[in-house]
Amino acid sequence: MPHAVAESARPVCRPVRTARLAETPESVGAAMIEAKRAAARKLGTGRAEALAALDDSALVAAFLAGDARAFTELVDRYHVRLLNFIYRTIGDRDRAEDLVQETFVRVYKHLHRFDQSKKFSTWAYTIAGNLAKNELRNRSRNPLVLFQTIKGNWDTDHRPLEWEDNTYRPDDLFRKRHLRALVERAVGQLPEHHRMVFVLRELEGKTYEEIAEITGVNLGTVKSRLNRARNNFAQVIRPLLD
C-alpha cells in the first residue's frame, strides 16, 4: 500500500497578482490636463491652417466675430508687402518699419468701420500710403531729418553682401542686388506723386482702379501720372545702367 503523501509536502498553488502602479487623484488630474493641452495644440494648429486658407473678406468677418487669430493672419499676410511699399515710397527702412506698425494699429482700431464690400488690401494700402505721404511731407519741412535719411542711405550702400541663396553664383547675386539698388535709387528720384503710382503699379502690381482708390485721385490722373513716372524713371535709370 503506497505511503500517503504528507499534507504539508503538497505544493501550494497561489494566484499570481499583477503589480499595478497606484493611481492617485494627482496623477489622474495631471494626465487629464496634459491630454487637454495636447488636444488644444492640435486644435490650434488646425485652426491656424483653416484661417490661412480663408480669403481676406472671410478673415475680416472672423475677426469681427471675435476670433483674434484672424487679425494675426491678416498681419502675417500683409506685413512684408506693406513694408516694401512704404520703404520704396519713403526710402527709409527703419521709418518704414514704424509706419507699417502704425498702419496695422489703425487697421485694428477701425476695422469695424471697414466697408466689407471693398477689398481689404486696397483699404490697407490706402492707410499705408497716407502715412507715407505724411512722412514725406513732414520730412520736407525738416532739413535735419532729410540729412539723416540721406546719410542712412550712404551707410547702407556699404553694407556687406547678403548671401540669401546659396544656389546663386556670387557674381550673379551681386548683379541682381546692384540692379535692385539702381532701381530703388531711380525710384527715389521721382517726384512724390509720381513715385507712389509707379511703386503701386510697377512694383506692387496694383490695378489702375486700386491705385485710384489708394491715392484718392481719378483714373485719368492715375494713368497720366504713371505715364510721366515711367518716362522719368527711364531717363533717370538709363545713365546708371551705362
The type of residue at 74 is: L
pLDDT in the model for residue 233: 85
Torsion angle in degrees (nearest 10) through CA of 148, 149, 154, 158: 110
Low-confidence ranges of the chain (pLDDT < 50): 1, 5, 8, 16, 18-21, 40, 143-144, 146-166
Give the CATH fold of the 161-242 domain.
Arc Repressor Mutant, subunit A (1.10.10)
CATH of the domain spanning 53-159: 1.10.1740.10
Domain ranges of the chain: 53-159, 161-242
pTM value?
A: 0.60
Is-contact 197 229, C-beta < 8 A? Answer: yes
pLDDT above 90 as % of the chain: 39
pLDDT attached to residue 182:
80
Write the secondary structure of the chain as one string of H (helix), E (strand) and C (coil): CCCCCCHHHCCCCCCCCCCCCCCCHHHHHHHHHHHHHHHHHHHHHHHHHHHHCCCHHHHHHHHHCCCHHHHHHHHHHHHHHHHHHHHHHHCCHHHHHHHHHHHHHHHHHHHHHCCCCCCHHHHHHHHHHHHHHHHHHHHHCCHHHHHHHHHHHHHHHCCCCCCCCCCCCHHHHHHHHHHHHHHHHHHHCCCHHHHHHHHHHHHCCCCHHHHHHHHCCCHHHHHHHHHHHHHHHHHHHHHHHC
